[in-house]
Chains A and B, each alone.
Chain A
Amino acid sequence: MLIRLAPDIRASEITPKRLYLNRRKFLAGLPLAGAAFMARDAAADTRLTGLTKSSFSTSEKLTPLQDITHYNNYYEFGTGKEQPADLAKTLRTSPWTVTVEGAVNKPKVFDIGEIMKMAPLEERIYRHRCVEAWSIVVPWIGFPLNALIKQAEPTAKAKFVAFQTLYDTKQMPAGRNAGIPLPYVEGLRMDEAMHPLAILCVGLYGEVLPNQNGAPLRLVVPWKYGFKSIKSIVKIRFVEKQPPTTWNISNAREYGFYSNVNPEVDHPRWSQASERRLGEFFKRKTLPFNGYADQVTQLYTGMDLRKYY
């Protein structure tokens, strides 16, 4: 049987969102029912400009936008890979606030607009390795998480950072069948969170985040399995003890708190030694810390990574 691999669309061939939104503007001008809705939609500018490049970016071939936006794990919007692209349309990303609280001198409820302006936006092209043994290369847009942390001024008690995703069953009815406890929660150790590779992400491919990719604000921690990079964040809490994390609550034997990409430590049900890069036929070897070992190994000196998987 002939297997046709996913079509390789170059980023330059993709119609920019602002252009196809123009079509909506045109339609909105017509005296049609629902025109008002479309006009509101078209008014939102989704481009992100003034981005700076980053030396942390990889020069590997980007995964096409179509694949990045139609192969998602976002269980609040269904457990199928293509479901979030459709079901996440119900996610309301505006208004959106993010509560920063806990062991900090400056707790605050931020509007998403304030967060977007918190630090210069950078393009970070990262490898993204899912615990399910597939991977993609994504041109994320965001800024170091440590910028927000510094602004919040954590106290001596802040040893970990806990994150929480929105959970609203009205917007996320499929969440009831997710099979994991929700709201989704994740966490990082303070030194991990301060690491310059860890970013708060607001966009990809030059635009604001598509809903299914975790709009309007997500974490990206490229040396850890994808599920650590929590989506649609509404709360960031600084805590003294290691916070609970969703997949670890769901199945502690299979998913640890650290969940660093590690080809030596298999998932109990499958090997982590290799991965399938979407768009490629042959599997490739998985690299320790997803290829970011040089930058992050020192965070874990003296730790038994088999025990702290």
Chain B
Amino acid sequence: MPLKRVISSRWTKVPVFALCLAPLFLLAWRGFSGGLGANPIEFITHATGDWTLRFLLITLTVTPLRKLLGWLELVRFRRMFGLFAFFYGCLHMLTYVWLDKFFAWGEMLKDVAKRPFITAGFTAFMLLVPLAITSTAGWIRRLGGKRWQMLHRLIYVSAVAGVVHYYWLVKSDIRMPVFYGALVAVLLTYRAASALIRNRALPVGQRQPVRPLP
């Protein structure tokens, strides 16, 4: 199948990488051409935040696509997507720290402690830090596949916290955060369901105990 060949070709990583950078270049281009509107800092904050969430979703879509469509080679891109989520998250954070608050650390600490939507966003970002650090082959080896995988499930929590961050910051029009929330719910439900099915398929003795619902 040609699509599969494209996915597994060693030349695809470069254009995919470039494509992942496109939102940043678009933003920079808008910046230079005066296209950031009346409140440029707000525009940058929203754009980098949107792309952090989008890359988290893209990263979470890799596994379901591999399994449902059999595009196993897609896994080659998963780390790149995850690191781009972290990259845009860093830009989002930097916008807040530098452009919005201008390094007023005391004010920011108060924000994180007092304002639930910032607490949620800060949590979502901090959870990505260990994942970015341990994204190398060396760290997978050092931690061991099982433990590494356990650790990297933190992305589920990060994505949920990211959506909550978005939901809590909008004033009244909740359509976009609800839309992202629904996507995260679908992606996480897929994982829960497939884990359950896998477990059922095991011989009775090897099944994991399933906790009764509260």
Q: Which residues of A contact B (CB under 8 A)?
A: 1-7, 66-67, 70-71, 75, 79, 81-82, 132, 134, 177-180, 250-251, 269-271, 276, 278-279, 281-283
Contact = CB atoms under 8 A, between A and B. Distances in A.
Contacts of B28: 1
A180 B39 CA distance: 24
Contacts, number: 70
Contact of A178 (B31, B115, B172): B172
19 contacts: A2-B32, A3-B44, A4-B33, A4-B34, A6-B36, A70-B38, A71-B37, A75-B172, A75-B173, A79-B172, A81-B39, A179-B172, A250-B172, A269-B117, A269-B169, A276-B39, A276-B41, A278-B38, A281-B41
A22 B39 CA distance: 32
A134 B39 contact: yes
A79 B173 contact: yes
B174 interface: yes
Contacts of B99: 3
A279 B115 CA distance: 27
Given A1-B28, A4-B34, A271 B173 contact: no
Contact of A70 (B32, B37, B111): B37
A283 B99 CA distance: 10
Given A179-B172, A250-B172, A271 B39 contact: no
A11 B201 CA distance: 73
B173 A4 contact: no
Interface in B52-70: none
Nearest to A282: B102
Q: In this complex, which of A6, A70, A132 has the most chain B Cβ atoms within 10 angstroms of its Cβ?
A: A6
B36 A4 contact: yes
Q: In this complex, which of B99, B110, B171 has the most chain A Cβ atoms within 10 angstroms of its Cβ?
A: B171
A71 B172 contact: no
Contact of B174 (A132, A179, A269): A179
Contacts of B40: 3-6
B172 A278 contact: no
Given A81-B37, A81-B39, A269-B168, A2 B31 contact: yes
Nearest to A80: B173
Interface string B34-51: 101111111010000000
Interface in B145-176: 168-169, 171-175
Interface string B13-34: 0000000000000001001111
Contacts of A283: 102
Q: In this complex, which of B39, B110, B175 has the most chain A Cβ atoms within 10 angstroms of its Cβ?
A: B39
A77 to B, nearest CB: 12
A247 to B, nearest CB: 8
Contacts of A132: 171
A134 B36 CA distance: 16
A82 B46 CA distance: 14
Given A5-B40, A6-B40, A178 B173 contact: yes
Nearest to A131: B171
Given A178-B173, A269-B117, A282-B102, A81 B38 contact: yes
Interface in B115-148: 115-117
Contact of B34 (A7, A71, A82, A177): A7
Contacts of B34: 4, 6-7
A82 B39 contact: no
Q: In this complex, which of A66, A67, A75, A81 has the most chain B Cβ atoms within 10 angstroms of its Cβ?
A: A81
A279 B173 CA distance: 26
Nearest to B102: A282
B39 A4 contact: no
A281 to B, nearest CB: 8
Contacts of A281: 41
Contact of A6 (B33, B38, B44): B38
Contacts of B111: 271
Interface string B77-102: 00000000000000000000001001
Contacts of B117: 269
Contacts of A5: 40
A282 B171 CA distance: 24
Interface in B173-207: 173-175
Nearest to B117: A269
A177 B39 contact: no
Contacts of B174: 179
Contact of A269 (B115, B172, B173, B175): B115
